[in-house]
Amino acid sequence: MKKIHAALYSFIFYTCITTGYTQGTASANLSVELKSIQSITINEAQNNVAIALTNASEYVNGKSALQQDHIKIMSSSNYEIKVSAATHLTGETSTIDIGTVTVTPTQGSVGGASTGIINLNPVALALGETTLVQSSQADAQRSFNINYKVSGGQAYLNQPPGTYSTLVTYTILMP
C-alpha cells in the first residue's frame, strides 16, 4: 500500500511540476489595409521648359527640348498618365495653337525594367486631357523622359516676337 501511495504521490508531484512549466499560447489577429496610392512630380530643376526658335531651320522644321527624368511617379496599381495644356501658347498680343506642340514620353532612369506593359504615346498637346502613358502594372518608382517639340512652320511665322507660354499639367489616374 505504501508503494501505491508513493507511486501515486510521485505521479501527482511529477504532473504538477511538468504542467507548471508547460508553455501557454496566445493569439493576435493581424490585418494589413492597402490604400490606393498614386503620386506624380515634375523634376524641380525642370519646372520651366523653354524652347527658343533662333534660325530659319528651326522656324521651318521646329525644335525639341528633351527633359531627362522629367516626371516621377509612384502607383500602387496599374495607371495612366494624362497631359493637358491650360491655354494655347499665349504671347502679349497673339496666340499659337497648342496642338503645334508634341510631347513624347520615354522611360527614364528610375524604375528599371517593367514587369508589365507600358504604352508610351506621343501626343499633340490639347486643352483637354490626352493619355500619354498607360501601364498594366504598379510601379513603386518610375521616371519618364519627356521630349517637347514645337512643330515650327506656318503657325510660328508672322507672329510678333516674344515669349509664348502655357501651363502643362500631368495627371496620374487609375484607369
Q: Could you list the beta-strand ranges (E) of 15-162.
A: 38-42, 63-75, 79-85, 89-90, 95-96, 101-107, 118-120, 123-124, 130-135, 139-150
The identity of residue 92, as a single letter, is: E
Say what the pTM is.
Answer: 0.82
Topology classification of domain 38-173 = Immunoglobulin-like (2.60.40)
Question: pLDDT by residue (tens digit) across 15-51?
Answer: 555 555 567 899 999 999 988 899 999 999 999 999 9
d(CA 90, CA 116): 39
DSSP letter at 148 equals E
Say if residue 132's pLDDT is above 80.
Answer: yes
What span, in angstroms and rounded, lies between the C-alpha atoms of 84 and 175?
17
Tens of pLDDT, residues 49-58: 999 999 999 9
CA separation, residue 54 to residues 63, 66, 89, 94, 161 (Å): 10, 17, 18, 19, 11
